[in-house]
Amino acid sequence: MTTTPQPSQASQSTATKPATNRELPLPQSDRDPAHLQGHWLLAGIGKRVLRILRNVLGNKDIRARVLNMKHTFDKYRNELTGIAFVVRKPEA
């Protein structure tokens, strides 16, 4: 009767596991965020941005303000070197 050889314990413990999604770097993650495509920038930031986007998409007034800012930024694209936002948290 022949038996199939079993792998040794040492070879099992040294085998590399496949990387999980959390361990894999995002594409273009080595680039400066200012030069990333928008969807990769959002992917790197995560669900915090999704919460903001939900508010923007769900509120007509906020959406209008954001689109107005976008048009202004597009208009002065060559003159802008930086943008800062000063925000206040609404009182509960």
Q: Rounded to an integer, what distance in angstroms lies between the CA atom of residue 27 and that of residue 1? A: 53
Residues 15-33 pLDDT 10s: 565 555 566 676 666 777 6
Query: What pLDDT does residue 13 have?
Result: 47
Helix ranges, the chain (H): 9-14, 38-45, 47-58, 60-75
Least confident among 3-7, 22-26, 39-43, 79-83:
3-7
Residues 36-76 pLDDT 10s: 777 777 677 777 778 888 888 899 999 999 899 999 999 99
Task: Find the mean pLDDT for residues 79-86.
Answer: 85
Query: What pLDDT does residue 4 have?
Result: 57
How many residues are there in the chain? 92
